[in-house]
Structure 1
Amino acid sequence: MSKRKRRSYTEEFKAEAVKLVTEQGYSLAAAAQNLGVSANSLWAWKRKITATEEGESMTEDERLELGSLREEVRRLRMERDNLKKSDGLLCERKELRFEFIEAHCEAWPITLMCEVLAVFRNGFYAWCKRGASSRRQRHRELLSEMKAIHADKDTKCYGSPRMHRELVALRHSVSENTVAKLMSDHSLRAALAPKFKATTDSYHPHPVAENTLNRAFEQESADRVWVADITYIRTGEGWLYLACVLDTYLRKVVGWSMSARITQELVVDALRMELGRRRPDGDAALLHHSDRGSQYASGAYQELLREENISCSMSRKGNCWDNAMMESFFAKLKKQRVRREAYATRPQVRASVFDYIERFYNRLRRHSALGYVSPEQFEAAAWRSLEPHHQRHGPE
């Protein structure tokens, strides 16, 4: 595994990080913790970007009004998201509606929930007094946890295996079969994978590399094989293109870039982000694998690989399986986030993709190939195992 170094962040990363605070309602401390950066750094980025956007012409009253409006937007978004949790319950039997009211009585007034869910308040109180068997009570507790997990925009994609692991992490003793039955009985379903569509333009005059990787994705340490690819996301303003670089050992996205145009600068910026975050060990061979698209075969990209002493490998023509790990990540991104949203603008996509990669996928999502821990947790455990033999240099 390569030595750790002081991390540097691109302006694109900083801008999207600040939007978690200014547009998505996260506190500064929570956003910093989710992204693995210091609160002081995030505060400095926010101050700089906000000052640039607002300019010197804005009066103090206008700044106060803007802050008030932002707080109101944040509050309304929270109310909207909370009310969405009851979606579909009007079609369920009364017991399930009563269970929802009981589970959320601290969040909303009981009278309001009874009105929204079309049940009588005295009927709810009578249901509470009747009590339940120990088994039913146990299932009710589990179901409450499962609904909370499934209501989250990130873990809503979980099927019974990951839902089971999430419950075990919360110190619940339950079998996967029980979790699967409860999910089935209460219509808690995992997201479906989107269909694959080829986008690679391999008709270009640039030379292409051999398929050196040959699908050998399993590695014994980090920074040995990086895979890269481009995907696109539809918005009301047109397409937004996303380029990513992923470490096959960590299953971690450590480089990404987004642009309205699919150019060589898009993939170069993604690779530079990864090189800024981690510096591979110069004594160990590093292989970069991508498709044979014109962006990856371009002179600028190949020159950057040579400067960093990184070997190049490319998929065979028309064979998406040669880059299956990167395709798998894009499939997860589409089914777990993109296909669940309707994006009017490109900035909305940027904020959503940034949140998915940096806050959820790298730091929270349980990965089956990593023993159901996140890539960040897996990397931290790998570093701990090397500490007696390898001096560790963490980010400042």
Structure 2
Amino acid sequence: KITHQLIQSGWKVSLKRVQRLMRELGIRSIIRKKYRPASNHEKVESRENLLKQDFSTTSINQKWSADITYIHTQKEGWTYLASVMDLYSRKIIGYSYGKQMTTPIVVEAFQQAMQNQQLKDGKGLILQTDLGTQYTSYEFENLLLQYHINHSYSRKGTPYDNSGIESFHATLKKEEV
């Protein structure tokens, strides 16, 4: 990141030079410890994984990925960001931010994605989510049925099944939060 900013400022430096100088000056990047939610050992009902880690698409609005992440702020404490990503363009097409990790936050992000993509019907669209209670809720499932969207679920404990959005959230928190 420092190399990129120096190059943007007009300096001609390489990554290795910046790494060497940082090491000599004792400068290190700040690494924050990740938030680890309490694990739940209850049996989770597995559901169908339609994508099976095949994230390839030929156009927009074929495969979407959605997830929630935790963000700590000084003023509010723990807050939550629900995002929806189109796997073709890798763009965030809908998001919602709030103080509570409840079903309305994922519903709002999904509805924003539908509105931003100007979709009245999602026939043929696959939405990949994890097995979180927000995404398996009656309200969210009915919303997907209403728009004729196929719901694909990640397997329990397998973030790679939803790696596009997981990677985005990790980068967002490392570089911006």
Please give the range of the TM-score, normalised by the shorter of the 2 chains. Answer: 0.7 to 0.9
- 3-state secondary structure, aligned to 1:222: coil
Is 1:243 matched with 2:82? Answer: yes
Partner of 1:328: 167
Partner of 2:137: 298
Q: Deviations over 1:8-41 (max 9, x none)?
A: xxxxxxxxxxxxxxxxxxxxxxxxxxxxxxxxxx
Change (3 A) 1:237 1:280: closer
Determine which of 98, 106, 131 is the counterpart of 1:259. Answer: 98
- 3-state secondary structure, aligned to 2:135: helix
Q: Distance in 1 between matches of 2:96 and 2:43?
A: 23
2:96/2:109 contact within 8 Å kept? yes
Partner of 2:65: 227
Q: Which has the larger share of helix?
A: 1
Q: Deviations over 1:330-376 (max 9, x none)?
A: 222333343xxxxxxxxxxxxxxxxxxxxxxxxxxxxxxxxxxxxxx
The CA RMSD over aligned residues, in Å, is 3.4
Unaligned runs of 5+ in 2: none
Q: Which amino acid aligns with 2:138?
A: G
Residues 1-396 of structure 1 aligned to structure 2 (within 5 Å): 158=1, 163-168=2-7, 173-192=12-31, 194-195=33-34, 197-198=36-37, 209-235=47-73, 237-279=76-118, 285-338=124-177
Unaligned runs of 5+ in 1: 1-157, 339-396
Q: Distance in 2 between matches of 1:232 and 1:180?
A: 30
Q: Distance in 2 between matches of 1:219 and 1:165?
A: 31
Q: Which has the larger share of strand?
A: 2
- How big is the shift at 1:263? 1.8
Q: Which amino acid aligns with 1:312?
A: H
1:217/1:248 contact within 8 Å kept? yes
Change (3 A) 1:202 1:316: farther
- How big is the shift at 1:201? 7.0
Q: Distance in 2 between matches of 1:237 and 1:165?
A: 32
- How big is the shift at 1:180? 2.7
- How big is the shift at 1:170? 5.7
Q: Which amino acid aligns with 1:268?
A: V
Q: Which amino acid aligns with 1:224?
A: Q
- 3-state secondary structure, aligned to 1:297: coil
1:202/1:317 contact within 8 Å kept? no
- 3-state secondary structure, aligned to 1:256: strand
Q: Distance in 2 between matches of 1:238 and 1:196?
A: 12
Q: Which amino acid aligns with 2:54?
A: A
2:122/2:149 contact within 8 Å kept? no
Change (3 A) 1:239 1:178: closer
Aligned residues: 176
Q: Output the TM-score relative to the length of structure 2.
A: 0.77
2:72/2:79 contact within 8 Å kept? yes
Q: Distance in 2 between matches of 1:256 and 1:301?
A: 15
- 3-state secondary structure, aligned to 2:134: helix
- How big is the shift at 1:315? 0.9
- How big is the shift at 1:314? 0.4
Change (3 A) 1:171 1:260: closer
